[in-house]
A and B are shown apart, each in its own frame.
Chain A
Amino acid sequence: MISLKPRSILLISAIFRVGLILVGEWQDTHMEVRYTDVDYLVFSDAASLMASGQSPYKRTTYRYSPLLAFLLIPNSFISRCWGKFLFSASDLFVGLFIRIILKQRKVPDDLCTYSMLIWLFNPFTFTIGTRGNCEPIVCAIILWIIICLINGNVVQAAFWYGLIVHFRIYPIIYVLPIVIFLDPRFFRYGTKPLLSDWTSDPGKARQINSELIDKCAVCDVWKSTFTRSRILFGLISGTVFLLCTGFFFHLYGWEFLHEALLYHLTRTDARHNFSIYFYHIYLNYERELSVLEKLVSFLPQFIVQLVLILCFAKDLVFCFFVQTVAFVAFNKVITAQYFVWFFCVLPLILPWSNMKLKWKGLCCILLWMGAQTHWLLWGYLLEFKGKNVFLQLWMASLLFLAANTFILIVLIRHHNYGPVFRQHTDLKTTKTT
């Protein structure tokens, strides 16, 4: 049993990250292989351009919101490590928010601590921020949105949601589950929604869920679709998104729109990456893919997202997790930084999983890491040894998808599904009489 206090965990994590940043700077200066992510150099260059009054999009391969370049302007006059400290601070906030969310749902202290540790001392996640990748900011905001929603603060949740969709497109996949989640049976004007507390009893969780389904008549669902909360959420998040996008379009024109938004919506990359589609795209790059081919490649993603939303929206956090895993796994381009998107939500669902670390949990971890390592080995041979191993690399990406699918199914199988909220007692009483 771990007896560390959350404050101590955060302090140790902070010191550890500062140390990593300093070691990274030393490595960059003295060694051939850099510690810093190439993307960080792109962000910094874009920030320098912005600081001198120019468009950040003059920096080739800068494909982010100008907000990111703005946040890194101090790189030019305080320290080139400013951005890394900012991202690492966001990293720490993710750990803090994990604890806040779990404590609000009455998860026992030891499970909260383990969940914090899973994020803060995961080698994958602490290197992301210290190497200069901006994903921790996205993760922190996503978790903050969850906190706002579970506290019934729809306006603030909508504001941050609009902002984060502008910053990074992928959270748009959460719009439907959030709208479903804003169920009028839980979100009532002037009343804080009632959280379902954590329980270690899977039977009790299923009972809560089945009661909810019994009361859910089709006509009630239709009548309650356009509720105050849902309309407010849609209006505010849409307005924030359009305002941010419009403002930067006014400043930077079509270049901003193309590089920061449209590029991500239409991106296909023939270069090798974890996606099963990379070799198919490369082999067909010289000809235009037909509409049918594009549709067929989009359908798996669409169907999986729709089914996951319909099945799990009420358990919002778990829905976020499974959606993100599936979104990354079926995407046309997969890079390692995308894994952080679901890593930040993983600690939030583990207290509701009845899968034990020994041995099922360990097997899942080893399977996922093994599939990834297998792919990386072939990738190394292709990129750094110049061997033609395209076929083997593609097969490794098929195996990686299979591993992701298997692990996702296992997590679904072992999850104690239950809605985040429970009904107010007066509504329950009215319905049963």
Chain B
Amino acid sequence: MSTLQCNRLCFHLKLAILWMFFSGAVFCIHVFASTTEVETNSDAGKFIMKSYFENYESLHDSSFEDFMAHQLSSSLCQGIPDNWNVGVRLSVRELSLIGEGSHRHLSSSIRLQIGAASIPKLPAHLCEVIVIQRLPLGVFADPFELQNPHKHKAFRDIAVFGDTNLELPSFQSNRSAVEFHIDAGSNILFMQNNGTEFNLLLPLHARYQPLDESGYSVVEIGEPDMLMRCSVEGKQHKQSCLFMSPPNEKTKSTSATVAWKIPAGMKAHAGFVSVITFVTALLSTLSIVYASMFWSGTKVSKT
């Protein structure tokens, strides 16, 4: 390739880059000069955990149970229509952790049962099962991974709430929760249902754990919380309400929690690791300095 051709190619490259740069500057200024709307969730009350975090700063079991017991009570299906109870039961049939190492999948099998109670005439309705998986300190779900349409097309919605920082160790992070919305179908309350099963596979990742003398830290993940939300046609407009399994009728799966053993650093290593690290760095430095000064050719000529 001749010098002239190289120069031409380089000139065209420079022009292209300059054009892109100035177009970009104009684009950015134009976009930010006009009023931009911040994207808002069109269904403001859609996520239960969003409501939770509007009332609480961080996720604690006691706060969450209090929220579920009191804050959501007004949303339960009691008044619309009057006095009907279709005996909705949601239970976890199986909970397990699949895989090895720092990246695993939490597998949950959820069963939905509609009881055989007397059902008065109900309007048309559309229901979804809401599963809230509270995660302990020490593990997290990647919200962008959960948005992968190929893997999660079965879900109507998935979102992660709480501490979504992917990089912090567990002792510098807070808890998070994943909320799934699964389409349960339309008019399912019209008929008795012995059990519809939904399988969830949630990819989880381990954070760096606090130091432990044993060299491992055990993190326990409990069963998810489950509700069903149905949208019914009311007298005036569409309304939705929640079904929750009564606490004394909650059926437990064979293992209520799963344990994840995660490697952790050992405090006993701290002293000698620091010393040897710095000594190694020092030795490398001295070697490079010596070699540079000896072989760089910075010697004064004898001539």
Contact = CB atoms under 8 A, between A and B. Distances in A.
Interface in B244-303: 261-267, 269-270, 273-274, 276-278, 280-282, 284-285, 287-289, 291-293, 295-301, 303
Interface of A is mostly: helix
B166 interface: yes
Interface string A386-416: 1111110010001001100100110011010
Contacts of B289: 303-304, 307
B107 interface: no
Interface residues of A, number: 80
17 contacts: A52-B39, A53-B32, A70-B24, A96-B9, A213-B300, A276-B280, A299-B285, A300-B285, A311-B292, A311-B298, A384-B100, A386-B102, A390-B263, A390-B266, A390-B269, A391-B269, A401-B281
B188 interface: no
Contacts of B300: 210, 213-214
B297 A270 contact: no
A365 interface: no
Contact of B100 (A29, A385, A401): A385
B266 to A, nearest CB: 7
A147 B13 CA distance: 14
B167 to A, nearest CB: 7
B284 A283 contact: no
Interface string B207-223: 01011000110000000
Contacts of B144: 41, 45, 59-60
A52 B273 CA distance: 48
Contacts of B291: 408-409, 412-413
Measured as residues with beta carbon below 8 angstroms from the partner, the interface class of chain B is 35 or more
A326 to B, nearest CB: 6
B30 to A, nearest CB: 10
B20 interface: yes
B281 A303 contact: no
B297 A307 contact: no
Nearest to B148: A41
Interface string A276-305: 110110111110000000001101100110
Interface string B30-42: 0110001011000
A276 B277 contact: yes
A211 interface: yes
A107 interface: no
A408 B295 CA distance: 12
A83 B262 CA distance: 36
User: What 7 pairs between A and B have smallest CB-CB spacing?
Assistant: A210-B301, A311-B296, A388-B263, A417-B297, A384-B101, A388-B215, A409-B291
A394 B265 CA distance: 11
Contact of A390 (B10, B28, B265): B265
Given A285-B169, A412-B296, A96 B285 contact: no
A49 to B, nearest CB: 9
B216 A213 contact: no
A54 interface: yes
A285 B269 CA distance: 13
B35 to A, nearest CB: 10
A330 B297 CA distance: 25
A251 B31 CA distance: 10
A99 interface: yes
A326 B286 CA distance: 12
A283 B298 contact: no
Contacts of A428: none
A29 B284 CA distance: 45
A250 to B, nearest CB: 9
A93 B282 contact: no
Interface string A25-53: 00001000000000001000100000011
A255 interface: no
A180 interface: no
Contacts of B262: 386
A271 B264 CA distance: 11
A176 to B, nearest CB: 15
Contacts of A383: 101-103
